[in-house]
Structure 1
């Protein structure tokens, strides 16, 4: 009896702590794309293992609980792929649509469950669906490993912008693989082994993380951490693209930490990127972007009054608008507009 209680406590506590860890990953700032995917991955694993604990100790539980667990299991592999892809591409140059695909897959899984519910189609869920989930999970594990190997070669010698190294990512993949193996071989061992493996992996990860944090002194923010040229180019391209597409410069409350969160990198890293690789401070960079936006409005036919131009470009006051414009262009906005219109008329 005591062994049964201990088994339930250890396996159930792992699932519960997984839910808590998932919430913490979403709460901890700044929240990077990789961090969101990791939170989703831990949540799906927690639901899957939680369902195992409930079913092991209460076999008469509603079949809908089993359906929820298997539905979560469908998403474990895709969440792992999303996590690795987000780590490879922290500036989201090629992964902007990944969350949409994830939501779409969730919709398909839920829709399948509504069309063919577990209680009415036991043979389907315990047969083809179960095997499809297991082998799809395995395929995602192999794909994630391949992505990690390729990315590690490309990122050799670089300092991670999101705090995650290839070792961290490899540990996540190995942990998910251990849980998969436990479930896949449950017929030879016990059904509860899957939940126990998740608890073991979760607690070992936390212990190792705390031990390494205690043993390793915090590095200086900029000491020996120059950003590689190709990584800086990609980050600056993502920054310029974000400004151009979403017009963040119009936000009069835009700050360095807020912009860094949108880029998925620490604020100190963004500051270093601008200073070392763009030779400008954040405030100067933002003023330049706003002046360029104002120039586009001033050169357009019927660009509007100066107050409208300043507001549309994100300047909080006319005095700031005039001083920033003169500092960047060496002239006033009105004089620049007149020169631009004269050049346009001469060209036509």
Structure 2
């Protein structure tokens, strides 16, 4: 009996955490297309393994749960292909129609489920449908592996536009393959092995990710090697998009290391990019962007308090806002705002 409880706990906890992870991936900013596909993939895996857990411990469960689980199983392969394609095309130039295709497949699968429900067509779902889903899932794994192996090495621009590395991509494909193998060999092992495999893959992936984040950064020899002009231009565009368009400067805890991670760029290389191409260090660069954002707010929001302007511009406190603003502009924010309104009134 204790073994059954432990089995249920580990299998069910993996399913629950998978759903939580998919929500986190959609909540974590910035949300990239590959990130959305990964969230959908994890959700489909969670639904599939959740169905396995329920059926293993309660065999008499309603057939509707089994139908939902098998439908989700079909979309595991679809989401895997979408994830790999989105990673290879972070700008979305060749994958704009992929979400629409997936939505069309979802509508079609729901329609087929309504027309041929599991409750009335048990042999159809337990036989041809299940084997077809397994085949499609395997085909998607093989196709994703082929796309991954043929993919060119990412350039600085594509690395900056994608927060997921080749290691992440390989880990996802391998994890999905392990889960497929667990279900494909369930007749020789146990039906619950698929759910346990998902839990194991999920926890190992999280552990590796946390270990990589806490590991000390490896110094890279960029000091004596300038960044190529084309690469520097692409990296600067990505930096500008992240800082200005997406408002990364608003994060009061933003550091060089955190910004480098979001750009998927070594910290030393980002520092070199700022020094060689913008002739500044990270802190002065960040201060200038925040002050320019504050100046825009001071012009556009006449009734905004200095505390609100400081917070909206990414400063930790009003005092640091006043100190930085005065250092760069030679005057206080309040005096600068009055001068702007005075000029507008005269003109």
What is the deviation of 1:233? Answer: 6.8
* Alpha-carbon separation, structure 1, partners of 2:86 and 2:113: 29
Task: Tell me by how many angstroms 1:235 deviates.
Answer: 11
2:246 maps to which of 242, 257, 262: 257
**What do the CA deviations read for 1:157-216 (whole angstroms, capped 9, x no partner)?**
887222211111000000000000000110111100000000000011111111111113
Query: Which structure 2 residues correspond to residues 1-348 of structure 1 after superposition, within 5 A?
Result: 1-151=1-151, 153-155=152-154, 160-161=159-160, 162-217=162-217, 229=230, 255-257=244-246
- Aligned position for 1:242: none
TM-score with structure 1 length normalisation? 0.66
Asked if 2 retains the 8 angstrom alpha-carbon contact of 1:40 and 1:79, the reply is yes
Return the alpha-carbon distance in structure 2 between the equivalents of residues 7 and 225 of structure 1.
55
Distance in structure 2 (CA, Å) of the matches to 1:132 and 1:259: 45
Change (3 A) 1:234 1:214: closer
> Which position in structure 1 is the counterpart of 2:324?
none
Distance in 2, matches of 1:115 and 1:274, equals: 60
TM-score scaled by length of structure 2 = 0.66
The change in CA–CA distance for 1:196 and 1:274 in structure 2 (over 3 A counts) is: same
Match of 1:244 in 2: none
Could you say what the CA RMSD is over the residues aligned between the two structures, in angstroms? 3.7
Q: Structure 2 CA distance, aligned partners of 1:219 and 1:49?
A: 41
> In the TM superposition, what whole-angstrom CA distance separates every residue of 1:223-266 from its partner, at most 9, and x where no partner exists?
88958848967997x9xxxxxxxxxxxxxxx9521699xxxx95
Q: How far does the alpha carbon of each residue in 1:291-312 deviate from its partner, in whole angstroms, 9 at most, with x for none?
A: xxxxxxxxxxxxxxxxxxxxxx
What SS is found at the alignment partner of 1:119?
Answer: coil
1:201–1:277 Cα change, 3 Å: same
Give unpaired runs (5+ residues) of structure 1: 239-253, 284-318, 320-348
Number of matched pairs:
261
Going from structure 1 to structure 2, the CA distance change for 1:165 and 1:59 (only over 3 Å counts) comes to: same
User: What secondary structure is seen at the aligned counterpart in 2 of 1:160?
Assistant: helix
Q: CA shift at 1:217, angstroms?
A: 3.1
For residues 56-81 of structure 1, what are the alpha-carbon distances to aligned partners after superposition, in whole Å with 9 as ceiling and x for unaligned?
Answer: 00001000000000000110001001
Deviations 1:30-86 (A, max 9, x none): 111110000000000000000000000000100000000000011000100111111
Name stretches of at least 5 consecutive residues in structure 2 with no aligned partner: 250-260, 279-284, 290-339, 341-347
Partners of 2:25 and 2:39 within 8 A in 1: yes
